[in-house]
Amino acid sequence: MIRLPLVLIFAALLFSAGVYGVLARRNAVMVLMAIELMLNAVNLNLIAFSASLKDVSGQIFALFVIAVAAAEVGIGLALVILLFRNRASINVDEVDLLKW
């Protein structure tokens, strides 16, 4: 059985990669994919602790997160398509109308 700390370190690395992607990527599709990375890092943590603590509630939580993430990606991609239609670009830096 894989030792818990290894999984946690892996999940942390995966989360950090996701954060980096969210903060640094200009492409909206890439940002969405980075968010998926972060969510999956969290799922990994939930399942790891569930297995370690012999408690299934963590796994059930993970299922919910996957469901929500699917919905979120669906909405997010729809937004990106609309953005592209309007701006002919999916660069998030250019989408700054909501400012002072």
Residues 25-44 that bind another protein (CB under 8 A): 31
DSSP 94: G
To the nearest whole angstrom, how small is the minimum distance from the Cβ of residue 83 to another protein?
Answer: 12
Amino acid identity of 21?
G
In angstroms, give the least distance from the CB of 53 to another protein.
Answer: 21
Cα–Cα dist 64/72, whole Å: 12
Asked if residue 97 binds another protein (CB under 8 A), the reply is: yes
Q: Is 88 in the site for another protein (CB under 8 A)?
A: no
CB 42 within 8 A of CB 72: no
Taking the C-alpha atoms of residue 89 and residue 100, their distance in angstroms, rounded to an integer, is 22
Q: Binding of another protein at residue 99 (CB under 8 A)?
A: yes
Tokens 């492409």 appear where?
Answer: 27
Q: Which of 20, 50, 44, 49 is nearest to 33 (CA)?
A: 20
Selected from 6, 13, 24, 75, the binder of another protein by CB under 8 A is: 24
* Residue (19 or 33) nearer to another protein, CB: 19
Site for another protein, rule CB under 8 A: 19, 22-24, 31, 92-93, 95-100
